[in-house]
Amino acid sequence: MLIINKASDRQKAGHGNFNIEITIPGINAGNHDSGFYTLGRFDDAHLKPGAFIGMHPHKNDEILTLMRSGTMLHRDSTGKEVAVTPQNIMMMNAGSGIYHEESIPSDRYKEDVRLLQIFIRPENEDNPPQVQFANAGELVLNHWRLVAGLKRSNAPLEIKSNVLVYDMDMEGTTVDLPQPYFQHTVYFVYVFDGEINFSGTLLKTGDSLITDDENIHLQVNSKSTAVCFVMDKDANFTRNGMYSGMKRN
């Protein structure tokens, strides 16, 4: 299996201080599911100081906030108020229901925020809601960093679904995909910044690659950043998440 999604396939949303590019993982997979296995969708977001996204609900979504730059203030209905940064990352297991808001108060934070907000499909519906924070450690150039995954993976953040999420800054090297974790593993690789070449095909910022061949090699010249989802093709999951479960007509 080999599928390429182009940056031009993404959908745009937001205005003013808040703009996002929405990746629909299953857009070229040839079925009526907007997601791809356990990966529902994700938003590549750019927020400026002064941005405010008011309190809103989520249900039956596993929501990973993977920060790349800046600081964002998180508040939610569990009573938490925490500054999220590239080192202090966040996972919301929405379960039976949770409300949250995100902001960049301009009197406190001056740097633009770049992040991925990733909506993953949980194995079961209506779990007790929770919000997790973790220090995932610094990125080490040309090494995959595990940021979130199912419980037995011992990832910094737990996802209640059969998926692992890695990221990497890479430059001047050839790298392999992470080791296959499941008996029937499939990969989704997103180019957050830069350019990545594999087998003569060039992926640029916003492009993504789907493959079940762990022997693919990624070649990088100038500094680039990628996010890799390692998923179980045999996983059970719900398509009834408020954001992760949406289907195309």
Pairwise CA distance, residues 42 & 64, whole Å: 9
Q: Is residue 64 exposed (0-12), middle (13-18) or buried (19+ Cβ within 10 Å)? A: buried
Question: In what side-by-side order are the strands of the sheet with 113-120?
Answer: 11-15, 18-23, 39-47, 113-120, 62-69, 88-93, 130-135
Q: Which residues lie across from 5 on neighbouring strands?
A: 208
pTM over 0.85, yes/no? yes
Show the domains of the chain with their CATH numbers. 2-232 (2.60.120.10)
pLDDT-derived band at 32, boundaries 50, 70, 90: confident
Q: What angle do CA 63, 94, 210 make, to 5 degrees?
A: 30
Q: Tens digits of per-residue pLDDT, 208-225?
A: 999 998 889 999 999 999
pLDDT in tens, 165-174: 999 999 999 9
- Counting every residue written for the chain, the total comes to 249
pLDDT tens across 116-164, in order?
999 999 999 999 999 999 998 888 999 999 999 999 999 999 999 999 9
pLDDT at 249 (0 to 100): 43
Is residue 46 a contact partner of residue 72, using CB atoms and an 8 Å limit? Answer: no
Computed over every residue of the chain, the mean pLDDT equals 94
Decide if pLDDT at 108 tops 80.
yes
